[in-house]
Structure 1
Amino acid sequence: MNKIECVCAVGAQLGEGPLWSAKDQAVWFVDIKGRQIHRFDTRGGALTSWQAPEEVGFIVKATGDRWIAGLKSGLHAFTPDTGKFTLIARVDSDRPKNRLNDGYVDAAGRLWFGSMDNEESQPTGSLYRFDARGLQRCDENYVITNGPTTSPDGRTLYHVDTLQRVIYAFDLNDGEIGNRRVFARIEKSGAYPDGPATDSAGCVWIGLFGGWAVQRYSPGGELLQTIDMPVANCTKVTFGGSDLRTLYITTAWKGLSKEQLATQPLAGGLFSTRVDTAGVSPNEVRYDG
């Protein structure tokens, strides 16, 4: 049994995108619907928060000790010292009901992220790549996107179609993706795959929204492990600590009734547990702007 601890009872409406920062020994994450960026100091337990001007889908590091946030309107440079957001590139400006959701940086410094219908009903979402070549739509026709993440060797990219309850795998070659196929389907009743992350063994971890758990899949798509959680909506994991074996898990209270919230007082908190296999250190976006 894995011991689960709520390390920060932040009460995020839609906590998402945890990111380990070794430099400050902190977990950064967002509350999409609360329009907040959070930084949890794992050494002393302090929580620092910034208000975003729009719904914020993710926060990632960039070279030069910089940050990039995915807001509803597009990619923005974020400066923690001032709390300022500066537009880099608009995304889906022709689809005003869309917002950005979840992002990831591969080993080559390319930023991958998704857009989605904020009303969660129309397949207007896409998978994007942002690098020195600019912004590129790489796949589309998603209602709710999540991820992506890549295998440790950088040859496979995983992306989640949440409403279809499927995780896709793509071949990845020099920033180009192809050969989309089903990696795994979520069979657990009432559970929807949320954010993915990979560990150093190439296994894929999936947060289950409505599933009371996170799950670990082998590189071949076999379910290896389920970690039961005390809250229903588990969104994504990141690996932290000096050995990258502390698993941090974001959660959400979005969609829960008052009665359900009463039985899940820690919903929306940041949780942690120890795991046997280390994760992979996060990468930085190679961005010259």
Structure 2
Amino acid sequence: MDLHPTIGALPVPANLLGESPLWHPQEQVLYWCDIPGRQLHRFDPASQQHQQWQFHTEVACCAARAQSGLLLALRDGLWHFNPTDDSRTQVSAAPYPQATERYNDGKVDAQGRFWSGTIHEPRDTPSASLYRWADGQLQRAAGDITVSNGLAWSPSGRTLYWADTPAHVIYACDFDAQQGSLSHRRPFARFTPRDPAKDLAHYGGRPDGATVDAEGCYWVAMFEGGCLQRFTPQGELLQILPLPVRCPTMPCFGGPDLRTLFITTSREKRPAQELADMPLSGQVLHLRVAVPGLATHFVNSP
């Protein structure tokens, strides 16, 4: 694998906090969210066309629907959104106190169920949860973390990965595809918290969004660590990919051959000197990789 790949940026304005990149295989475009900007973005690599839509509250993550359009997780609940005519329909209210919690990371499993975790914004207690949207019903599937992140499945679908960002830990869980349930949560990877007496150059970052490639390796964005890390299914660190930004947020595979790695990043509340030194902060980065990603799954629930 190329240890020094060429990293570019999409020709679009910078986001405050880009998140949830989604490659839509039917449209052959990339969607992503700007959470504090309350925006959904779409970029067509073939035409180089960029579109964006504004929403009334934070847009945390997005997923492609089997019927048409997208499913969005906003602070106030789940919404159907049709980019063609800008129609918006709420399908589920938020199951948490909106003053202190919101949806965060979200993905679709191979059976078409949408999973989205939450963030407990005070970050003082492990009060966040993981929810499952299936058959028009929202159910709490797991909890006891502070910031839900890093959702991804192994190629077999038998392992679910789930991270708690402030705790600096990624978990692996046994996943029952038939029941849509997880069990046997155990640490997959742990990271050293930042030493407040040292600057960021001495900090490896904390696990944010993630994806899995066709070899079953787990790619995770290390927020404030300025890199992606790639792990084997056994939790062995294979590669550290340095990035030209301090705060990557999530990778995803896309392109016709699923060998383009797109990476959303953040510039929200970053120091002025950091932004001057790292002008690509907030951009969507991209690079070519040797191992392709897995196919995008569609939400089946109405």
The alignment's TM-score, normalised by the length of structure 2, stands at 0.91
Cα deviation per residue 1:131-178 (whole Å; 9 max; x = unaligned)? 127211111122211131111111000001000111101000121110
CA distance in 2, matches of 1:14, 1:177: 29
**Among candidates 145, 163, 177, match of residue 142 of structure 1:** 145
2:57 is equivalent to residue 54 of structure 1: yes
Shift of 1:21: 1.3
Partner of 1:166: 169
CA distance in 2, matches of 1:84, 1:124: 33
Cα deviation per residue 1:181-227 (whole Å; 9 max; x = unaligned)? 00111347250110011111111010111011111110000111111
Shift of 1:118: 2.9
1:176-255 correspondence runs (5 A): 176-187=181-192, 189-255=203-269
1:80-95 correspondence runs (5 A): 80-94=83-97
CA contact (8 A) 1:125 1:145 kept: yes
Per mean C-alpha deviation after superposition, the further-off stretch among 186-195 and 259-268 is 186-195
The alignment's TM-score, normalised by the length of structure 1, stands at 0.95
**Among candidates 55, 68, 79, match of residue 71 of structure 2:** 68
Cα deviation per residue 1:75-110 (whole Å; 9 max; x = unaligned)? 111121232321111123445311100110011101
Partner of 1:32: 35
CA distance in 2, matches of 1:194, 1:93: 22
Larger strand proportion of the pair? 1
Shift of 1:128: 1.1
CA contact (8 A) 1:167 1:183 kept: yes
Shift of 1:10: 2.4
Per mean C-alpha deviation after superposition, the further-off stretch among 141-150 and 168-177 is 141-150
**One-letter amino acid of the counterpart of residue 64, structure 2:** K
CA contact (8 A) 1:114 1:147 kept: no
CA distance in 2, matches of 1:137, 1:60: 19
Shift of 1:286: 0.7
Partner of 1:97: 100
CA distance in 2, matches of 1:8, 1:74: 31
**One-letter amino acid of the counterpart of residue 183, structure 1:** F
Distance 1:41 1:179, change over 3 A: same
2:280 is equivalent to residue 275 of structure 1: no
CA distance in 1, matches of 2:52, 2:62: 13
Give the gaps of 5 or more residues in structure 2. Answer: 193-201
CA contact (8 A) 1:128 1:136 kept: yes
Give the gaps of 5 or more residues in structure 1. Answer: none
CA contact (8 A) 1:11 1:267 kept: yes
CA distance in 1, matches of 2:16, 2:56: 16
Per mean C-alpha deviation after superposition, the further-off stretch among 273-282 and 81-90 is 81-90
CA distance in 1, matches of 2:269, 2:227: 17
Per mean C-alpha deviation after superposition, the further-off stretch among 113-122 and 167-176 is 113-122
Q: Percent identity?
A: 38
Shift of 1:66: 2.5
Shift of 1:124: 2.2
